[in-house]
Structure formats: C-alpha cells, structure tokens
Amino acid sequence: MKLPRGMLTVVCGIVFAGMLGCRPQQPFFLHEDGDLSHYVDKATQIEYPDVEANSLDEVQKALPPFTISNSEVKEYWDLSLEEAARIALQNSKIIRSLNQPDVGAPRLPETTLTVAPEGTASIYDPARQETNPRTGVEAVLAEFDAQLSTRLFWQKLDTPQNVAGFVTFFRPSAFRQDLGTFQTQLSKTYATGGTFSISHNVGYEWNNATASRAWPSHWTANLQAEFRQPLLQGAGVTFNRIAGPNTIPGVYNGVLIARLETDQRLAEFEQSVSELLLDVEKAYWTLYLAYRQLDTVIAGRDAALQTWRQVRAKYEVGGRGGSAQEEAQARQQYLAFRAAVEQSLSSLYKAENNLRYLMGLAATDGRLIRPKDEPTRAKVQFDFYDVHAEALVRNPLLRREKWRVKKAELELIAAKNYLLPRLDFFGFYRWNGLGHDLLDPDNSRSNAYGSLTSGDFQDWELGMELQIPIGFRKELAAVRNAQLNLARERAILQEQELEISHQIAWVLREIDEYYTLAQTNYNRTVAAENEVRAVTAMYDAGTATLDLLLNAQQRRAEAEIQYYQALTKYMFAISHLHFRKGSLLEYNGVYLTEGPWPEKAYFDALRRARARDAGIYLNYGMTNPPVFSRGEYDQHAGRRDSDSGNPFTAEGENATESKTEPKGPEVLPAPKPQKSTGEEGPEVPPLPSTTRLSPRSDSGAKEGGSTLRIVKAPSVNSGSQGSQNTRVSHGRSYERVASQVSPGDLELRALGTHLQPGRSSAQRDVATHKAEGTLAQKNGVSEVEPVAWVGVSDDVPSTSKPANARNQSAEETPARVTAESWRAIKP
C-alpha cells in the first residue's frame, strides 16, 4: 500500500513530535551568545520607593523610654492644660487621635494613622476640597469660563479619476487639490444656561479643475455669531448654579453643591479639632490621676514597710505580736504595695507618653511631664434646657448634617427641572467673503477680507428646537430618588438630634454622679485616715491585731484612689458636655480661621476684584440663588459682650449659677496621708510652680505653606481681677472669597480668655469665681472639722497659696458662681 505524499508528511510529523515529547520548545536564534544577565525571572518583587522625606526632630532625637528599670528623670516639665492644648494644636498638621478609656490602664495609640492614613483628618482637608479639580468651587466655576479654540491645518490631495474622451476637458484624469483651513472660536456659557459664541473661519483652495472657475485658487472668510438659550429645561440661574452646565439627571455638580461640600469639610474639620482637644484633656487628667495613684500607693508602701519592720523586730526577739505568721502577713502586705508602686509607675510613664503623642512631641526627651493644674472641686451646674438647645445649634456634626439636608433640597430642585421639555431658542448671523487673494489693499473686491467687510453677503437663522422624551421615565426616577434622599437626610438629622439629646442627658447625669462620688469618697478617705490612726494607736497599745491595721491601711489607699478617680471622671464629664454641645473649642479659647495665602493668590484676587468692578452688571431677571446659608457661624457664641450689659457666665455659655453663699466648714485641702521614708523608691514630686513650653521648631507659618497654629489674641483687659466687664475680641472666622484662586489652610487661633494669666484652663467652668477666704470666720466657725471638703471654684491652684488662702479679700475674688458645701458625714 502506498501512502500519498501529504499523508506521509503528517505521519512523519507525528513520529517526530513523539520522539521530542509534548512540551513547548524555545525558538532558535542565529546570533545568540548565551549572555542572559538582563533576564529577570520575577514579575513582581518588593522594592523601596525613591523618596527623600525629612523626618521630624521628635523622631530622630527620641531617647529610650522611661521604664521601671530606667526611671532616671533628667528634668521635670511642669505643664498646664492650656499649654498642652496649645502645643498639641501647633504640632497637629495631621490630627492625631487616641481612643483611650475615661479611667483605666493607658493603651497604645490606635494604628489608624499608620494603617489607613487616607481617612485621617488634617488641616489640609478644607483646602483640598476647595481646590479639588473636579468638585471644588473653582473647578465648577470654570465651566462658565470663556473658551478659546483655534485650529490650523493644510491638506494636499492627488486623486486619480476614471474619465476619458472630451470629459477630460472638464475633469482631469488626476485631480490635484491644496486645502488650507484656519478656525478660531470664542464661546461662553452663562449662568442662565445659554451659550454664546463668535467664530472666524478662513479657507484656501487650489485645484487643477479650472474649466468652470474664475480663479485657479481662492480664499474664503466668514465671521459668525451664534447663540442658544434654553427656555424650559436647563434654563435659569438657580438650576445652573445647582446642577452646572452639561449635566444629566442625578449627577449635579454646580457651584452651590461645591460650596456645600466645602462647608461639610469645615464642619468635619471642626469636629476633628474638638476630638483632639478632648483627647488632650483626657490624657492630661489621666496623667494627673496616675501621679495621684502613684502618690497613694507609695504612701501605702511606706506605711506597710514601717509596719513590717515593727513586726520583724518583734519576731526576732520573740515578743508579743511577732509570730512567723504575722511577720509573713506584714511582708506580704508590703510586697503587694511595692508591686502596686511598680505598676503605677509604669502606668504613669504610659500616660505621659500618650500625652506626648497627642502633643506631637518625642516619645522621650529626658524630661517627665507633670500636670501643673488641679481639677476643679466646685460643683458646676448646667441648665438642661439651655445646654440642650445649644447643642442642637452648635454641634458640628449636626451642622454638617444640615448642610447635607440643604444639598438634598437643592438636588431636588434641579431634578424637577428635568421634568420640563427641552425647548431651545437659537440663531446665528454670518458675514461671508470670497476673493482671489486673502488681503489686497489695492483691490478691495478681489480679496476675501474686502468682500467680507463690504457686508454684501450675509446669512442668518433663527429657530426653536423642541425635544420631549415620551414618558419622562428617567427624569421621574431622578425626582423620586432626590425625594428619597431628602427624606433620608431629614430622618438622619432627626435621629442625630435625638442621639445628641440622649448624650447631653447622659453627660449631665455623669457630672452629678461623679461630683457626688467624689464628695462621698473624700469623706471615705478622711474616715479611712482616722481609722488608720486609731487602729495604729490600738496596735501600739496591744489592743488590736495586725489584721485590723493592715486592712485599715489597705482601705485608706483604696479610698484615696477612688476619690481621685471620681474627681478625674468629673473633669472628663465636664469636657464631654462641652464636646457634645459643640462648645469645647470656645471652652479652650480656640477658634478656626484661614491661614496665610501665597502672595500670588493675593495678587490674583486683587486683579479679579478690579476686573469685576470694571465689568457691566447684567440682570438676568433672577440672578440670586436660593437662600442656603444663614451667614457666618459665631464660634464663640457663648461669650457675651460687656456693652450689652450681660457679663460672662461661668461657662461662657448658659451655665446655671448658684446664687447662695456656701455655709459650712472652711475649705480643706485634699487629704495627704503621712508618709515615711523607710525605703528609697520612685517618689512623686510636689506640685510644680514653673512652666516650660516646648513647641515644635518648625510649626511657624511659611509663605505658601499650610500650618496649624495657636495665636494669642490681645483680647483681655488688664484690669482688676474682679472686673466684670471683661471684653473679648473674637477676631474673624473663616470667610470664603470667590475671587481668590487657591485657598489656604485653616489656622487654629486661641483667643485671650477671661482667665487671669497663669490660671488653670481646666477650671474655666468656674473662671473668675472664688470663694471668700474668710468664710469660716463670717459663719462663726471657730474650729475646722476635718471630716469634709467644701468644693469651691478656685481657678488658680498653686503650691504657694493653699486652696483656703485667708489672705484673699472678697473684693479680689468675685464669686459669680459659688459652690455648695460638701456636707460632712457624721456618725
């Protein structure tokens, strides 16, 4: 059998493939030298970016952290809360957050900034929204800018043609042609939705078909003015400022929408700054509590050490009360307190590190921060109806949601416009010219521009164009969608107001709760101290067992810790109330304003303002957009000007004042248990009397840069301490200027408050109000009962002047808010 030649080829190919195997083969190259050094057998690998970024000095110069083993402090930094807030704001181009419990063991800072930096607030956010090239105010205003377009091109054609015979006399066998075109147009879209354009076209043509032509080549020129104005759909200033030109149903990006987006970013930025200040206050008072807890457990450790030494001495001589069980029990109590001291010292270092983090400082620089301020011990009362109404107006999150409601209302207006038919009125007028030359001064009739300017050849057109979608299905869906969005935003606003109402009630309940607990725990501390003294005397006389003494010492430490915890939570509750009702910035003397702009921005803004002044006003019939803003927001609305006859309240915002003078025992300082120095260890230094400020070196303003700064405004009269006519200059808050080109970033500026210099910012709730130092004498109290602490509004804590300073006269300490006495608990 003889196979065909083609079949033989196939069989040979199959046999050859079977010999090689079924696998891919590399191609053969003629000039291959075998050097494959350029070959990389990886598609993706981890690489490091080529970025040169300057690190902060706080990062480069950080020292090893303080620990239990490394507790050598080079210097103590006595810091007030006001200075801590100022440094934190100066060093916060990126707003840091610290999700810490109110009272508890300090934790590491949250990793949101590292893991998800895109969601971190910063001072650049409002300016980023303002300069967004798609949704910013300047970007959407650019849709109404005049547009100039120009085209210039030249063509050469050489086309063969299928002609023969006498036709070649009219049409050549190869058609050759030169074409030149110049087109320029200036168009403008107006706020009414109409467009106007003026265009100029120049053309040149030469070809070899000259049988029916006057000239082998010619020039054409025309000047045309054209307009198109919507009369129903897409017409009106309101619609175009909401939706913008060339939009579709459901997608609106007009100048009003862009402005509302910027206002939302401003409200979010204000909320972020308030959260930062709240975190700073919480970290500050947490550090204060850590110092107090360390002080308490050190006192307990020293007392336990002294007791253990006594029992140990009796154990060694075999005396009464010196058994092995009692010696071990006393040693165990001492070691328990020692462990508590070590734990409290570590917690103090962690709390100090958290405050440093919020302030933007190095983790450790050899100094240890000590709180300079003392918590207020005055009972601050708020009227629920006042703070509730104020929260509904001043809370930044509610204000942001109201901007969202206004945005939904504007979008509904724009959506309803699409239910109208599309009816446009349009027209054009054109002057034409034709000539052998483009421009010939000697012969005005044979050149294109001469023919054009003669006005002999004119075209015009007027017309109306109507377009109606049958059913308006998409348009009706857009209206319904806008209605649902508006209903949703209004429902969210209502629920947010309900939530704020619950938050205000919750915080007011906490203020009363922690004040009462602090009062009770203070009396508990005094009772525990008396118990320790009594049991100690009984134990020394041999009428009490060791168990009673050790338990009394333990209860004393627990009572004092509970007292300071309640006092710290009381400060947290006051700060939370201001935070919830939107007055925390005012409470800390801070307001928001724009930072400096580049010089070029001021130059361009002035040029635009002068150009607008020289322009001609065109009344479109309805040029004003709907009212969407009630004007500038008063950031310090709680402050009252002295000219109105209303002095500042204690809070600066609707705090209910107690008009009754306290009657009871004289003010007593917080209890200080007796400490022994039997063992060296970490001790708590006394309250500081000096203050150091260490802001970041590069936190100043730079031209064209973005900064976040605290500026002290000269707003406080230097009058007497008791002056009730303190006048505050609030400065100017954020204001948008439409003619400015590139907006700057926001600046945080601290107003001078009605506190005296050096006073504690933690006690602004009772600022300028002090109790009389001669109160006990006026009430006929000859002896001070050591069983209760009377809370007063002492807003100048100082180690050199005790809280019950007798050298202060009533004239120097105006008491607009007087604190209620903490009644003593008697048997």
* DSSP per residue, 740-784: -SS---EEEEEPP-SSPTT--GGGGGGTT----TTHHHHTT--S-
Report the C-alpha gap between 632 and 734 in whole angstroms: 8
Same domain, 209 and 343: no
Cβ atoms 584, 387 nearer than 8 A: no
Which among 761, 741, 742 has a CA at the least distance from the CA of 750?
Answer: 761
Distances, alpha carbon 460 to alpha carbons 60, 148, 223, 428, in Å: 75, 23, 12, 5
Coil vs helix vs strand at 696: coil
Report the C-alpha gap between 289 and 344 in whole angstroms: 10
Q: What is the pTM of this model?
A: 0.73
Residue with tokens 């150009």: 611
Coil vs helix vs strand at 351: helix
Same domain, 200 and 220: yes
Number of domains composing the chain: 2
> Is residue 37 in some structural domain?
no
> Is residue 352 in some structural domain?
yes
Of 426, 445, 476, the domain-final residue: 476
Which among 809, 533, 790, 536 has a CA at the least distance from the CA of 669?
Answer: 790
> Is residue 116 in some structural domain?
no
What six digits make up the tokens of 794? 């002492």
Report the C-alpha gap between 102 and 115 in whole angstroms: 25
- The DSSP secondary-structure symbol of 722 reads T
Which among 584, 593, 585 has a CA at the least distance from the CA of 632?
Answer: 593
Same domain, 533 and 682: yes
Q: How many CB atoms within 10 Å of residue 709?
A: 20
**For 484, phi and psi rounded to 5 degrees?**
-65, -40
What six digits make up the tokens of 287? 């550090």
Same domain, 319 and 445: no
Distances, alpha carbon 282 to alpha carbons 81, 354, 550, 575, in Å: 10, 10, 34, 8
The three-state DSSP-derived secondary structure of 391-404 is HHHHCHHHHHHHHH
Cβ atoms 142, 264 nearer than 8 A: no
> Domain of 471?
129-162+175-261+414-476
> Is residue 9 in some structural domain?
no
Cβ atoms 359, 88 nearer than 8 A: yes
Distances, alpha carbon 203 to alpha carbons 218, 296, 436, 443, 450, in Å: 8, 96, 12, 19, 15
Q: In the prediction, which pLDDT does 61 show?
A: 85
CATH of the domain at 277: 1.20.1600.10
Report the C-alpha gap between 194 and 227 in whole angstroms: 7
> Is residue 86 in some structural domain?
no
Distance of alpha carbon 514 from the chain centroid: 30
Distances, alpha carbon 283 to alpha carbons 81, 279, 289, in Å: 10, 6, 10
Q: Name, in order, each residue with C-beta under 8 angstroms of 290's C-beta and a sequence gap of 6 or more.
A: 106, 344, 347, 348, 351, 352
Of 443, 476, 509, the domain-final residue: 476
The CA-based angle 538-541-545, given to 5 degrees, is 55
**For 218, phi and psi rounded to 5 degrees?**
-150, 165
Q: In the prediction, which pLDDT does 120 show?
A: 86
What six digits make up the tokens of 563? 């007292």
Cβ atoms 591, 635 nearer than 8 A: yes
> Is residue 818 in some structural domain?
no
Same domain, 547 and 696: yes
> Is residue 200 in some structural domain?
yes
Coil vs helix vs strand at 607: helix
Cβ atoms 730, 591 nearer than 8 A: yes
Same domain, 579 and 643: yes
Q: Name, in order, each residue with C-beta under 8 angstroms of 807's C-beta and a sequence gap of 6 or more.
A: 773, 801
What six digits make up the tokens of 23? 């696998």
Q: Name, in order, each residue with C-beta under 8 angstroms of 521's C-beta and a sequence gap of 6 or more.
A: 559, 562, 563, 566
Same domain, 731 and 748: yes
* DSSP per residue, 409-447: HHHHHHHHHTTS-EEEEEEEEEEEEEESBS--TT-SSSB
Cβ atoms 275, 557 nearer than 8 A: no
Same domain, 301 and 249: no
Bridge-based pairing state of the strands 746-750 and 590-594: antiparallel
What six digits make up the tokens of 454? 């003669």
Residue with tokens 């006393």: 330
Same domain, 424 and 398: no
Same domain, 715 and 646: yes
Amino acid identity of residue 403, one-letter, is W
Of 424, 447, 476, the domain-final residue: 476
Same domain, 427 and 547: no
Indicate left, alpha or beta for 621 from its phi (over 0: left) and psi (-120 to 50: alpha).
left
Same domain, 397 and 427: no
Q: Name, in order, each residue with C-beta under 8 angstroms of 238's C-beta and a sequence gap of 6 or more.
A: 413, 622, 625, 626
Q: In the prediction, which pLDDT does 441 show?
A: 73
Coil vs helix vs strand at 202: strand
Q: Please list the ranges in the chain whose pLDDT falls under 70.
A: 1-22, 100-111, 167-169, 211, 444-445, 618-626, 628, 638-827
> Is residue 550 in some structural domain?
yes
